[in-house]
Amino acid sequence: AILERLLNPAHVVLTGFGEAGNATLRAGDETTATLFAILGPAKRLPDWRRCARSFGYVSARPGDSTVVVAVMGNTCLDNPDYVTGFQVCSSPAGLPKEYRPYLKHFVPSPGIHAGLATQSGLKLGLTRAEVEAVLGKPLWKRTNAYEYGALGDFQFTPEFLIARWHWPKGVESKLGGVDHMIDVWFVGDRVSAFYVSKLYDF
């Protein structure tokens, strides 16, 4: 029951992107081209992880301090053209400290705002009780954060293997896994930032 709850695809699909607020981005399944088409082109953020790439955006809406980091596929493990995760923060103070010196590299975008939410209802400003109503009780609880994660079976079709990793034509289906990770941070009793990711694994 816990796996079924945490592997709900609605937890890793974010809604509300774009100037009109009607665009959706799916962690694990969107490409760089789709990300750039909705939020604007961006340059890779300086990153301390050799195999990782990420792009930063900040709201261009007056009075809105929301920032978003799009984390791309790890070049050592996955196709780096795919967005595997999104971190949404109510302000730059909620960013991991490694990113804060590089705020000048974050691209202003009207497609970023405080109303971004997962399809399941996780968003900034929720109380702890409201987060638990969406995600259930956390698997790990820290003073100012909840952590969730689940790994389930996934059938890689030949079409998926060819499109994602450029496997040769004629490849057969492979059994693998899909990993959902969700972290939620609080200031007081309210969500100040959240991170959702979807990873595929063999």
- Residue 76 has a pLDDT of 72
- Residue 50 has a pLDDT of 65
Position with higher pLDDT, 70 vs 1? 70
Average pLDDT, the chain: 93
Position with higher pLDDT, 97 vs 115? 115
Helix (H, G, I), strand (E, B) or coil at 68: strand
On the question of pLDDT at 75 being above 90, the answer is no
- Residue 98 has a pLDDT of 86
| CA distances for 78 relative to 28, 30, 34, 143, angstroms | 10, 13, 18, 33
Residues with Cβ < 8 Å from 25, sequence gap 6 or more? 13, 14, 17, 34, 35, 38, 83, 86
The closest of 106, 119, 87, 99 to 193, measured between CA atoms, is: 87
- Residue 201 has a pLDDT of 87
Pick from 14-18, 73-77, 108-112, 130-134: least confident: 73-77
On the question of pLDDT at 1 being above 90, the answer is no
Entry pTM: 0.94
d(C-alpha 202, C-alpha 189), whole Å = 38
**Confidence category of residue 79, pLDDT binned at 50, 70, 90:** confident
What single letter denotes the amino acid at residue 61? R
